[in-house]
Amino acid sequence: MKKRMLCLLLAVALCMTLFSACGGDSSSENNSGSKAESSEAGASESGEGSSEASAGETGNGVDLSKKSHLIMWSPGTPSRDHNRIVEKLSALTERDLNASLEWNRFQDTAKLNLLLTSGEPIDLIYTANYQNYAVYAAKDAFRPLDEFLPEISPALDQYVTGEMWDAARVNGTIYMVPCMWPEWVPYGFLWREDLRKKYNLPEITDDISTIEAYMEGIKQNEPDMQVTGEVVSTYGSIGSHFTTWEFLDRKYKWADFRVPYGLYIDYQDPTKVIDWWETEEFASDMKMFKSWADAGYWSRSSLANTENKQDAFEAGKTACDLAFNSPSGYANLVSRVAASHPDWELGWQPHYRVKNLATPNHATQNGMSIPNSANEPERGLLLLEKLVLDEEYFRLSQYGEEGVDYNVTEDGYYEAVGDSTTAGFPREAGSLWSTRNTEFMLYPEATAQILNELNSEFETYTYPNIWTGFAEDTTPYQSEKAALANVITEYLPPIQAGLVDDVDAAIAEFLEKAKVAGLDKIREEYKRQWLAYVEEHNIQPTTVK
């Protein structure tokens, strides 16, 4: 009876396979179908369809006569009044593109992966290098835009300049429309200036000993406070890291501190790639962190702490942050603190300033792509054009409804209606960072001043970003990378947090385990790909003053 059962089960499974295979085939048929459609649309002559006010701007031959539905995804959690804004936006798209709009959010990369893997119909989606843009692009998740963009939207094509456009290439083809807004997002040392003055601690300069003095001063004088609340993070690294790692960006003139697999790419000579984890500098940096951990600057339980660093700082629990992210972050923090703790004074020292080398965000830091599963790729692209280039769309999607969510002051600054607890759609609540447009952007007054100051400073020592556009192809070492990620997560953060007894022994053990997981193979392949990239894009050695 058992045997018969097994046979029957197999038979059932077999027919289900056939059943689903049919389903699988039809979806790939749909893909080729829509591709044929778009080339047809491109080939047809005049712009037909219902009259739209912007008929001249929409590009050629996109048929807008049939009412349809657009689906857009961006990261984050929807704010309280998200639905209201989507409704308003949908009214606009119905007017101009004859399509209603659905705007959904994804909370993490797992959800993003599920969306793309399941082939869900999505017409426009946020992509970024830190969200595996290169990996998905290499695996054909997105529609190629090389010819599609100029054909459907010449306006957008004009807007995206050559350099940024080229930087989004993966294996020679472009799969995303990059964000054109220039941004410098260094980490930096954040401290309480009022406390520094109170205890007569030395001014914070490029010299790291001033930072040590500050931390020691806080430790002595404020026993109830924790000096700094460094935690474990997974952003931007293979596996996880301890946030002290981000502090090291001030010290080295490397292509980027996020270069993975323990490699160091020299900014001044991009063909030079060093195995950094094995070096003396790395060991001495880790020993420095150990001395700080031993001095008690961060909790011994930091590895398990899931508290948000900024929350802790704002609540007055910590006195500094070794790696606080970005000028706009700092500007926002200043305005928040002005409201909640008027007696505080803050200081922020961006790492770029210390090493006199600023690199702007790479083009692929924020972008929009059109997945191959899109039902309406043409209108999706037109929607993107509107979001970036049409002020009405821009204002609505980024800031909400004027008068309800925000106001524009006489000087052209952004002013929120109500405060952060009453706001139903705060500024940039839609997380549409990839449609930012310098021309239309509005800043709150306080933020604007700080941002302008910092940005003009960075301008004086900025150099082109050579690394973040590098599209790493992980397929040759996918398994090793997964294995290595686990090794890194287990062994590296304790070392970076200085919570090990013997730094050299810990590093040796870590490297041993990493090599078992395949570190050497990965490094070799990565270096090969990187050098090929350097040659292809003709990246020259730069002297940093």
SS3 per-residue string spanning 212-278: HHHHHHHHHHCCCCEEECCCEECCCCCCCEECHHHHHHHCCCECCCCCCCCEEEECCCCCCEEEHHH
Phi-psi region of 47 (alpha: psi -120 to 50; beta: other; left: phi over 0): beta
- Name which position in 274, 482, 511, 539 contacts other proteins (CB under 8 A): 482
Alpha-carbon span 306 to 304, nearest angstrom: 6
- Name which position in 65, 200, 306, 456 contacts other proteins (CB under 8 A): 306
82 binds other proteins (CB under 8 A): yes
- Name which position in 56, 209, 224, 456 contacts other proteins (CB under 8 A): 224
Its sign, for the CA torsion 23, 29, 31, 37, is negative
Residue list 175-204, contact with other proteins (CB under 8 A): none
Q: At what angle do helices 280-294 and 478-496 cross, to 10 degrees?
A: 50
Residue list 360-389, contact with other proteins (CB under 8 A): 372
Q: Which stretch binds other proteins (CB under 8 A): 381-389, 416-424, 448-456, 536-544?
A: 416-424
Residue list 251-290, contact with other proteins (CB under 8 A): none
Contact 335, 445 (CB under 8 A): no
432 binds other proteins (CB under 8 A): no
227 binds other proteins (CB under 8 A): no
- Name which position in 34, 79, 228, 434 contacts other proteins (CB under 8 A): 79
Residue 417 Cβ vs other proteins, minimum distance, rounded to whole Å: 12
Q: Which stretch binds other proteins (CB under 8 A): 247-255, 306-314, 456-464, 527-535?
A: 306-314
- Name which position in 70, 167, 232, 503 contacts other proteins (CB under 8 A): 232
Residue 104 Cβ vs other proteins, minimum distance, rounded to whole Å: 4
Contact 218, 319 (CB under 8 A): yes
Residue list 327-356, contact with other proteins (CB under 8 A): 328-329, 332
Q: Which is nearer to other proteins, 147 or 311 (CB)?
A: 311
**Chain position carrying tokens 């959010």:** 105
Q: Which stretch binds other proteins (CB under 8 A): 164-172, 224-232, 282-290, 529-537?
A: 224-232
Q: Is 458 helix (H, G, I), strand (E, B) or coil?
A: helix
Q: Which is nearer to other proteins, 155 or 416 (CB)?
A: 416
- Name which position in 113, 375, 437, 455 contacts other proteins (CB under 8 A): 113
Phi-psi region of 204 (alpha: psi -120 to 50; beta: other; left: phi over 0): beta
DSSP string, 142-198: B---TTHHHHH-HHHHHHS-HHHHHHTEETTEE-EEE--------EEEEEEHHHHHH
- Name which position in 494, 527, 529, 533 contacts other proteins (CB under 8 A): 494
Residue list 459-478, contact with other proteins (CB under 8 A): 474-475, 478
Q: Which is nearer to other proteins, 17 or 50 (CB)?
A: 17
- Name which position in 154, 316, 347, 476 contacts other proteins (CB under 8 A): 316
What is the Cα Rg of the chain in Å?
A: 26
CA 124 to chain centre: 17
**Chain position carrying tokens 């912007």:** 54
Contact 465, 362 (CB under 8 A): yes
Contact 460, 350 (CB under 8 A): no
- Name which position in 59, 217, 239, 350 contacts other proteins (CB under 8 A): 239
Q: Which is nearer to other proteins, 195 or 534 (CB)?
A: 195
Residue list 36-75, contact with other proteins (CB under 8 A): 75
